[in-house]
Amino acid sequence: MSQIQNPILPGFNPDPAICRKGEDIYIATSTFEWWPGVQIHHSRDLVHWRLLCRPLSRPEQLDLRGVEDSGGVWAPCLSYAHERFWLVYTNVQNKQGAFFDTPNYVVWAEDIEGPWSDPVALTRTGFDPSFFHDEDGRSWLTSMRWNHLPGSTKFDRIVLQEYDREEQKLIGPEYEIFHKAIGGTEGPHLLKRGDWYYLILAEGGTGWHHAITVARSKELMGPYEVHPENPILTSHGDPENPLQKSGHGGFVELPDGSWWTTHLCARPLPGTELNGKAGTGRCLLGRETGIQPLIWSEDDWPRLAHGGRFPRQQHQAPALPPCPWPDEQKAFDFLDGQIPDCLQSPRLPIDASWVEVEPDPGYLRMQGGGSPLNRFTQHLLARRITHWVTAAEVELDALPRHFQHEAGLRALYDSECWYQLGVTWDRDQATSESSAPGARVLRLSSMEDRNYAVDRDSQVRLKPGAVSLRFVIDHQVLTAWWRQADSDWQQMGPELDASKLSDEFGNNSSLNFTGSWYGIFAMDLCGDGFYADFKQLSFRDGPPEPTAYAEDPQN
């Protein structure tokens, strides 16, 4: 039998909501400030998964301009009922201090791949909304409610309100149906099984104490009794478990009659334990998606099929026909005229106003945009990092004419934490002509908690023509490499700390929720039309071939 290997969706794929239509199984995950919004993965056997679509792909559906890092789309919920797919989501506009600004929306489609409707505004009372479609044909919105008042429990209540599908609006009163099982109550999902309504919750905060809890009632409005063995899933108390932070998921019944729960999880890098505490560390790949089998006991409560409450990395796959998908494309020459589907942009819709592909002779042209801290017009296209040993490589050609022009390759967590190799202009290298070739340099720089640093000791003066850039990550170590023409690869600067590209690094780590990326960028702080042409972009899950390096990379 095939084996399920957790995480099933590696890399930044948190808050999984699972949905089934017939033989097809879908998982929707959060995308935060990254455009397009929401990732939907597809499987038919729980073993093989493919990225199918990102439904929030029009500016009318999602406005991310100005949202802070780790704001934007939180915890979407995907459901199928009444011959439609329904997607509800929050666009978090602010999450600082006492106040959270959390408008919620719903879109729908008859086909999972769209077209998806324009959004209908729902409540702003809190985040993590989900739809429940009852057996009587009525639909309900449930979410957590945020309490900003001083001295309050911020995670106030789980609330429920009816949604009129014909009128496309919420109707009737808002009902308070639940407070807490263990605290920090969010991520509510409702399901009906037999005579019981089950409320599946994320609790304990989305860190080391995270968990899935369950409550139930024979009446939709409650009262709800809590599971006698809550939490039913958590990593807390199992410090040797490679899947930490486990919690926030949803239940699904498969065609073979088996039940499963999704959950987010995170894998700490070995050797990065926080304050020497086992079961913690820096999670380079962010919060990922795992899945565990469930059973329903004689008392009508769900429990993990393998017993206890801790997740496992491997499970026997359900009795479903195997359904592998083609391998993900990881190398791009742009001859097809398409922007690769694996690439996303922070906050900015990807359109011809700033990026286009020229199929002949094959390159992606990116206009220079704002700085890496810009929350409106930062020009960056990036792919998730999904393995601890990985690499990204690109060839580019750019003619900067000013020190405020730069283009290149970036390894990043968010706008305030990154490393980059950039082609720029150095006036100290310039002759009397500001655009002289001698002024074009390759520079290694970094940003840590908004502290910007440039490694001028390893700066390289470039010859005319294209330059190839590469980042390599091997667990905690990140190295930068470059070459021109047919020369050997040369290392740029010292070994760097890749583990900083994680939720756990930085002054604001309690509000960091995303993951690490490789990206290509172009910056033009002058606004005078600077652009860069990118060619031969590739990603590798695993190290480059050893023969790709010079024997002495510093020569």
Q: Both tokens of residue 337?
A: 């005229």
| Cα angle 295-298-304, degrees, rounded to a multiple of 5 | 25
Quick one: CA torsion of 219, 221, 226, 232, rounded to 10 degrees? 90
Alpha-carbon separation of residue 355 from 12, 158, 362, 379, 534 (angstroms): 24, 43, 14, 8, 11
How far is it, in rounded angstroms, from Cα 482 to Cα 489? Answer: 6
Pairing of strands 389-398, 467-474: antiparallel
Is 376 exposed, middle or buried, given 0-12, 13-18 or 19+ CB atoms closer than 10 A?
Answer: exposed
Q: Which of 68, 186, 288, 504 is catalytic?
A: 186
Buried b (16+ CB within 10 A) or exposed e, 512-550: bbbbbbbbbbbbbbeeeebbbbbbbbbbbeeebeeeebe
Pairing of strands 405-414, 302-304: unpaired
Q: Report the 3 state secondary structure along 428-450.
A: HHCCCCCCCHHHEEEEEEEEECC
User: At CB < 8 A and 24+ separation, what contacts does 212-221 make?
Assistant: 212/246, 212/247, 212/248, 212/249, 212/261, 212/263, 213/181, 213/182, 214/301, 214/302, 215/178, 215/181, 216/300, 216/301, 217/177, 220/134, 220/140, 220/160, 220/177, 220/190, 221/160, 221/175, 221/177
How far is it, in rounded angstroms, from Cα 443 to Cα 464? Answer: 16
SS3 498: helix
How far is it, in rounded angstroms, from Cα 302 to Cα 201? Answer: 13
Which residues, in sequence order, are bridge partners of residue 25? 20, 43
User: Prior bond to 115 cis, omega within 30?
Assistant: yes
Tokens 């808050």 correspond to 15
Active site residue 15: yes
How far is it, in rounded angstroms, from Cα 103 to Cα 326? Answer: 38
SS3 525: coil
How far is it, in rounded angstroms, from Cα 70 to Cα 89? Answer: 15
Buried b (16+ CB within 10 A) or exposed e, 214-232: bbbbeebebebebbeebbb
Active site residue 541: no
Q: Both tokens of residue 294?
A: 């469930």
Q: Which of 15, 33, 393, 503 is catalytic?
A: 15
User: Prior bond to 59 cis, omega within 30?
Assistant: no
Q: Both tokens of residue 295?
A: 């059973």
Residue pair 419/480 in contact by the 8 Å Cβ criterion: yes
- Tell me the catalytic residues: 15, 186
